[in-house]
Amino acid sequence: MDSVELCRELAIIIISAEVFGLLSEKLNIPRVAGEIIAGLVIGPSLLNVVQSSDFISVLAELGVIMLMFTAGLDTNMSDLRETGLKALLIACAGVAVPLVCGTLLYMAFYGFGAVGTAQFCQGIFIGTILTATSVSITVQTLKELGKLSTKVGTAIVSAAVIDDVIGIIVLTLVIGTNNAGTSIGTVLLRTALFFVFAFAAGHFLLKLFRFLDRKWPHTHRISVMALAVAFLFAFLAEYVFGVADITGAYAAGVILCQLSDAGYISRKVDVNSYMIFSPVFFVSIGLQTNIRDIDSTVLLFSLAFVGVGLITKVIGCGGMARLLGFSSNDALKIGCGMMTRGEVALIVAQRGMALNVIDQKFFSSVILLIIVSSILTPIILKMFYLNKSFPHRQPSVQS
């Protein structure tokens, strides 16, 4: 990797993100959507002046880790305690409804298969792609709107973190029906162990940081060490416990959100994010996508897939939220906030193709879902938040 070439790419990425971010602000849509479009414009879809590279992807991944760390840091602990169980139920409904409906959609297009047949496995895989929310876009949108540290914001973020875990469990289960991979028990055990570890380590870390905080309050030292802990947790989560790295970073943030300097740390990490990592991450979503690759033979299926993908999250998560006592407006915000799909959907699709369970052509449907949900979700969320009177209709409660 050539650092000079990277300077060129970073300059283009940052400037285009800024220009499209500004344009989207003028059009009253969130910056995030603008930055993703910037990636589509400068990437292989249109101008092709920047291509996604290993280095850009890794910088983007560091960006997501920082984003989830600050989401954790900005958590209101009493809100989290109050919404924790609710978030679990919302996440479960938000996995179940898209999984079932995605499977049925595939069968509606390509024929019904009995349990255990290849046809059934393909359907289940398509359903599994729809399970995991990509929370980063919603986090950034809620941040822009100043609504991240609200009860609804906390519910969305924690439900999305939980549904990542459930998504991975479902994937393991589905792969398990195909080959002898990791057992579902192992996955559940490792996930449980991670949370036990985070709880125990969190206790010790809080003591250490409270000491640092007393000795050097409001110093570089606190924020630098906190960021190092975020990276450490991200590593341990994925490497030792097989949980996603962003779950680790979020857990580190939730632990450290109890410090009096949590806001200070969050602001410092935030400067890092918006200067380089966050534009790189959102632009890279656009860069990784080549609109020209979208396969027209599955266009009708793709459109239905996108529709089902979006609506089932609203029904599943929003419906459950309404059942749990959120107002219908808040339930809709939660449902819509959970619509975004991202890297986990791509991972599931890639895993499925590698195992020859699903066909290459469905990849374009996944890409379309990621783009549409990434651009639509921030716009819809902003509409809900800025136009509080809109809409008051009750969501269908079917989960």
Piece of the chain touching a second copy by CB under 8 A; list 194-202, 274-282, 301-309, 350-358 = 274-282
Which residues contact residue 389 at a Cβ distance below 8 angstroms, ignoring those fewer than 6 apart?
none
Residue found under tokens 């393909």:
122
Kindly tell me which of 204 and 274 has the beta carbon lying closer to a second copy: 274
Q: Which of 36, 159, 168, 269 binds a second copy (CB under 8 A)?
A: 269
Q: Is 145 in the site for a second copy (CB under 8 A)?
A: no
- Residue 179: how many CB atoms within 10 A of its CB? 8
Q: Which of 167, 279, 286, 395 binds a second copy (CB under 8 A)?
A: 279
Q: Is 223 in the site for a second copy (CB under 8 A)?
A: yes
Q: How far apart (Å, rounded) are the C-alpha atoms in residues 23 and 26? A: 5
Binding-site size, a second copy (CB under 8 A):
43
Q: Is 322 in the site for a second copy (CB under 8 A)?
A: no
* Binders of a second copy in range 282-321 (CB under 8 A): none
Give min distance, CB of 12 to a second copy, in A.
8
Cα–Cα distance list, 64 to 196, 230, 267 (Å): 24, 11, 16
Sign of the torsion angle spanned by Cα atoms 118, 94, 234, 287: positive
The answer to whether 395 and 332 are in contact (CB under 8 A) is: yes
Q: Which of 129, 234, 314, 375 binds a second copy (CB under 8 A)?
A: 234
Kindly tell me which of 196 and 240 has the beta carbon lying closer to a second copy: 240
Piece of the chain touching a second copy by CB under 8 A; list 94-102, 106-114, 171-179, 264-272 = 264-272
Structural tokens at position 367: 């890409």
Which residues contact residue 227 at a Cβ distance below 8 angstroms, ignoring those fewer than 6 apart?
66, 69, 265, 269, 272
Q: Which of 1, 114, 115, 180 binds a second copy (CB under 8 A)?
A: 1
**Residues written for the chain:** 399
Residue found under tokens 């996955």:
187
Phi, psi of 48 (to 5 degrees): 60, 35
Q: Which of 112, 199, 274, 390 binds a second copy (CB under 8 A)?
A: 274
Q: Which of 47, 58, 299, 354 binds a second copy (CB under 8 A)?
A: 58
Give min distance, CB of 241 to a second copy, in A.
12
Structural tokens at position 308: 């089902």
Number of DSSP helices (H) and strands (E) in the chain, helices first: 17, 0
Q: Is 229 in the site for a second copy (CB under 8 A)?
A: yes
Q: Which of 82, 144, 238, 295 binds a second copy (CB under 8 A)?
A: 238
Q: Is 343 in the site for a second copy (CB under 8 A)?
A: no
Give min distance, CB of 174 to a second copy, in A.
23
Q: Which of 23, 169, 201, 276 binds a second copy (CB under 8 A)?
A: 276
* Binders of a second copy in range 102-121 (CB under 8 A): none
- Containing 270, the helix (H) or strand (E) segment is helix 262-272
Burial 320-334 (b: 16+ CB within 10 A, else e): bbbebebebbbbbbb
What is the Cβ-side half-sphere exposure of residue 99, based on CA atoms within 13 angstroms?
23
Q: Which of 5, 47, 118, 204 binds a second copy (CB under 8 A)?
A: 5
Q: Which of 224, 299, 354, 386 binds a second copy (CB under 8 A)?
A: 224
Q: Which of 86, 147, 268, 382 binds a second copy (CB under 8 A)?
A: 268
The distance of Cα 53 from the centroid of its chain, to the nearest Å, equals 21
The answer to whether 390 and 384 are in contact (CB under 8 A) is: yes
Instruction: Give the interface with a second copy as residue ranges (CB under 8 A).
Output: 1, 3-8, 10-11, 14-15, 18, 22, 54-55, 57-58, 61-62, 65, 220-221, 223-225, 227-229, 231-232, 234-235, 238-239, 245, 268-269, 271-272, 274-276, 279
